[in-house]
Amino acid sequence: MATLLDSLQTPLWIFDIERVAMIWGNAAALALWEAEDLDALRSRDFRAEISGPVLTRLQDYLERFGRGEAVVETWTLYPQGRPTTLRCLCSGYPLENGLAMLVEAQPVVERDAEALRAQEALRHTPTLLSVFDAQGHLLSRNPAARATLSDGRHFGEYFVRSVDEESVYQWVLGNHESYSLEAPVTTRYGERWHRLDLQRTTDPVTGEHVVLVSQTDINARVENELALINMRERLSALLRNLRGGIVVEDENRRVVLANQTFCNLFGIDAPPEALEGADCGEAAEHSKKLFAEPDAFIEGIDAALKARQTVTDELEMVDGRALERTYVPVFHGEIYLGHLWQYWDITQQKRNTERLEHFANHDALTGLWNRRRFEQSLFEIHEESVRYGQPYSLIMIDIDHFKLVNDRYGHDAGDIALRLVAEEMVRRVRQVDRLARWGGEEFVLLLPQTSLDGALRLANILRTRVRNFSLPLVGGVTISLGVAEAGNNEMPMAVLKRADEKLLRAKANGRDRVEPMG
């Protein structure tokens, strides 16, 4: 019997799974396991050769062997270093105190081995593979497809939207070799985006046309793309609707995006979309003539691009408009992606500010500085005078008997008289002199770099001019003037007080005069 078994080409062996030891093997098995004789095979340590998971699997088989079942396993051994794939029929072999495993091994010819390996690869690949017949009925699936896709038996049940199903049928009918699409499909985890590659091929079993579908999950990528598109759309809508003019440039100074307000501000007739891709350097050269200082417009751009820091400046246009320009560099981490220019028409805002500033500093009736602005200037001149050791003088001026003017000719005529007297005095003083309305019918004149003599001379000239000045309706008025030169380290308010005292004296001494007498 042993001779018969030894003459078989089929390797046979009995393996004690519990002890992880070989009990017996025929001659073909000894050759396969590269053992000289049976003793060598029996004394071999198989714990080093059989992996843990395989051993666990074999131990699980014991129960099945006990029920009389056989199991088919595919193993690859390496006698003389050559891979030899074996299809092994494993069954139970009774021992005195348990069960061993009888293995009948059938070497697999190389072509079959390849097919088996390919089958194994398909079993483990994460790509979902399905085979459909030409009518779209499911023929088979790999484990990944089975685990992921819903139980649908027909191709059409894969797709969430019928439009995709439609296009695939078009392909099936159109007799093309392959077709790819990205579409939302129904999976066990809900609706997911998949990339599907369809390949027309021949069924090795029936010889009929079949369709092999391999699919991969691209949900994360599609979601990112959708989020990006969504964000870009929202951003463009935001920029388009901004009240300011916006132009976004890439790192090569090509327009990425502009809005309508930008086109309006720069007098561009084309729609903002037409600017995309335009060279901003050239466009700026072309637009510089719109600005009161064309070179400053270009220099501002160059400086901002060089510094790559957010900066804001103001530009005056030849047509009188004022623009505020802000440069904002755009970075992704360390990488410079380009920049954004923002232009606001601030003409009205500037006018409002100027108007407010004027109201805050000027007297509404005469247009002269008011007391607040005058005092500010007085302190500045005082500082200068202390620093450079230069004199300055003050003249307090009051119209004589002005109450009578009002009483006789009315308040409106009084107003006109006040304004005209102020204008007449302004005409005579120097550019550097500061005439202000101190209040009521009283004025104050600040004369930088002027000593008492010069101030007295001017005071008399003013007195004469006003006295000789003809006023509508009223006829004429006279003024009284008190003059004081600032003393060393004398505070401005003290100088003012002295000038006021002189004015009171001029009034007391008969009006239409200057005190001190020159």
In the complex, which residues of this chain contact ligand GTP (CB under 6 A)? 365, 398-403, 406, 411, 414-415, 418, 440-441, 507, 511
Helix (H) or strand (E) holding 495: helix 492-508
Q: Which is nearer to ligand GTP, 215 or 366 (CB)?
A: 366
283 vs 506, beta carbon nearer ligand GTP: 506
In angstroms, give the least distance from the CB of 317 to ligand GTP.
Answer: 40
Shortest Cβ 447–ligand GTP spacing (Å): 22
Q: How far is the CB of 467 from ligand GTP (least distance, A)?
A: 14
- Output the smallest distance, CB 373 to ligand GTP, in A: 18
Structure tokens at 193: 């985006």
Is the CB of 22 or the CB of 421 nearer to ligand GTP? 421
Q: Among candidates 453, 452, 506, 508, which has minimal Cα distance to 481? A: 506
Nearest distance from residue 479's CB to ligand GTP, in Å?
Answer: 9
Sign of the Cα pseudo-torsion (507, 510, 516, 518, in order) = positive
Q: Which is nearer to ligand GTP, 289 or 411 (CB)?
A: 411
Phi-psi region at 89: left, alpha or beta (left = phi > 0; alpha = psi -120 to 50): beta
- Omega into 516 within 30° of 0, i.e. cis? yes
- Least separation in angstroms between residue 468's CB and ligand GTP is 19
Contact by Cβ (8 Å): 74, 123 = no
Q: How far is CA 262 from CA 233, 240, 242, 385, 390, in A?
A: 19, 10, 10, 50, 53
Closest CA to 317 of 368, 209, 253, 245: 245
Q: Give the CA distances from residue 291 to residues 7, 13, 287, in Å, rounded to whole numbers and listed in that order.
A: 106, 99, 8
Q: What DSSP element (H or E) covers 32?
A: helix 27-33
Give least dist CB 364 to ligand GTP, A: 9
* φ, ψ of residue 491 in degrees (nearest 5): -70, 145
Task: Give the C-alpha distances (Å, rounded to integers) separating 337 from 232, 278, 308, 329, 330.
Answer: 15, 17, 11, 8, 6
- CB–CB of 134/211 below 8 Å? yes
Nearer to ligand GTP, 53 or 510 (CB): 510
* Minimum CB distance to ligand GTP smaller for 148 or for 406: 406
Residue of minimal CB distance from ligand GTP? 414
| Residue (434 or 513) nearer to ligand GTP, CB | 513
Q: Euclidean distance between the first and final Cα of the chain, in Å?
A: 157
Helices 492-508 & 371-388 angle (0-180, nearest 10): 120
- Residue 79, judged by CB atoms within 10 A of its CB (0-12, 13-18, 19+), counts as exposed
Min CB(320)–ligand GTP separation in Å: 34
Residue placing its CB nearer to ligand GTP in the complex, 321 or 507: 507
Residue with Cβ nearer ligand GTP (457 or 511): 511
Min separation Cβ 258 and ligand GTP, Å: 54
